[in-house]
Chains A and B, each alone.
Chain A
Amino acid sequence: MLTALLILWPAVAALLVLLVKGQGAKKVAFGAALVELLLGIWAWVGFNPTDSSAQYLINLPWIESAGIVFKVGMDGISLLLVLLTVFLLPLIILSTFKHNYERPSSFYALILFMQTGLIGVFTALDAFLFYFFWEVALIPIYFIAGLWGGENRIRVTFKFFLYTVFGSLFMLAAFVYLYFQTPGTHTSELSAFYQLVLDAGTQSWLFWFLFIAFAIKMPVFPFHTWQPDTYAEAPAAGTMLLSGIMLKMGIYGVLRWLLPIVPLGVSQWSTVAIVLAIIGIVYGAIIAIRQHDMKRLIAFSSISHVGLIAAGLFTLTEQGLQGVMVQMLSHGINVVGLFFIIDIIQQRTGTREIAAMGGITQKAPFLTVCFMVLMLGAVALPLTNGFVGEFLLLMGVYQYNAWMGAIAGLTIILGAVYMLRMFQRVMFGETNHITDVFTDLTFTEKAVLVPLVIMVFWIGLNPNTFLNISEPAIGQLLNVINR
């Protein structure tokens, strides 16, 4: 029941928000997101971390004639992503409080509606249900980015939408094919897909059908071209949703719907996938170094970081997959914080140009501290969240292939280069005419950043709180893969 509540509540709340006129919508939306957070915490408290199977299971008939069921539930992997979603969403909504968007009720309703899709994706245990929620999450973000974004928003978000739908149609075809491979009266349940015995040739093409859909979403090189533009053009909240939560859909998809279903396909193509991911790591980082716009810099750094997660996925080692889990959380937290800080700076100075800044430290010490913690988290300094994830991931990649591990390790060095450079040029030095009047964080802004900073340290100092949740599920997943 709890899972259904987690999925349905945001959709109901979205309808409520639509009824609210004017800027009051944001408060109602924030309240609704807090309720969802409580539901998430409730799920966490009642969760049995030693059990590797899906808990809070709901299994209702949906399209009976076709054997399609409304089956949702949470194992440790799902729970962590649900927690990430319910934790970030109120913060993302809170971060928009100083913006007075046009048609606010539609804006916040779309955000909440998207949450329904996201939670649905992370908890669905039926292929068509998963696909359904996958697209349900996509439509709101298309409108969020396309309606409230920057100048080139129409062209850019359209490109993003086309890319994603194109990919997901291939996923749909793969699912339909798998559906017909299930014995007897066919079923699209995940567990039935796990039991399929498919020959290597079939798994080979199925791998690509599924991989393209997930790789576009993450995005993995060379499917990434929609990403920097979309991140740059979307409104701040949209960018946070895209980078903080939505790209995890792709990673989660690989984890849940690709690795265990076509393990032979994975063993054929994992080297190719890891090489693509590593190209992304280096390529994203090098381009990030060359950026003048802070938002684009973080966008490219995201390609680099996600590249490492993608590489970890295909190592099929426990360290690698646990690294994926914890790095998904860390990346979500860091990137949402960084995009918010960029939004704050842009609000105050009217620009995102790195060259135009300087000396903000003197004017805004609180902002500086938050920015620094999040940045150090992103460059994986020990004791921060990024370190745990990158360490595990690199260990996984190293076990797979030492050379690949070495090249993937460049992410830490290059990450430090572009992040520290940006930080230095934006925050230090002398103030100029646009940063002279820079003011420190308001109460609302602190309310967004402080929880994120706390999480950076929480995961950095005590990752086991979260690793313990996903460990049995990851173990179970590896059992399915190695069956």
Chain B
Amino acid sequence: MAVSEYQVRPGPEGYLPPAAASMGVELPERGAALVEGRVVPEEEAFQAIAEKLLAARNPVFFPGPAVLWAWKDGVAEKAEAVLKLMKAVGARAIPMPDYRPKYPMINPAVEINPNHPNLTIWHNRIDVGVFVGVHCHYANVALKIIRGGTDCYTIALCGEMGHEDAMITLRDVDIRKLERLTDIARALAAAGPLRTGVMPRAGTAV
């Protein structure tokens, strides 16, 4: 269990916030997850993710290269599962196709870049952002910058070991976990509306 009292909450945390790992937040072991810096059972995190997404005004997924390209067996199926989850929670997608610094040419309406993710979040007024299929180092850098400069609530659905700098992180995310999350979201949505606001604008995201 993590012993840190450091809270990984939505920002803006400040000029140059620390990486959460340097504040004592530890990644979860298999079968566990992180919610705002605390280690919790995975099922608790599933529920929290579904609630956050369904209550969001403008939930947006940021799919990265590892799910955008069918670069190995099983990736296309995983991308399908991500799409089903997005549909279940009514989220849009703004892709992270690669990791090149694209200053100042980034078009925040059509892509997000890990080196200045805050621009995309500000431009689209995103209140809940989900990282999936992004290589871990780039996800960590982007999540920390988002926490530093925006009030966006971030969720990481990581195929590897997770991310301390997301407000909620699941690790070892595979199709089975994506489907479980989708089922929970559908059940929660069927139980009644959680969304309190409306999307500020449709944008041009794909």
Q: Do A and B bind each other?
A: no
Residues of A within 8 A of B (CB): none
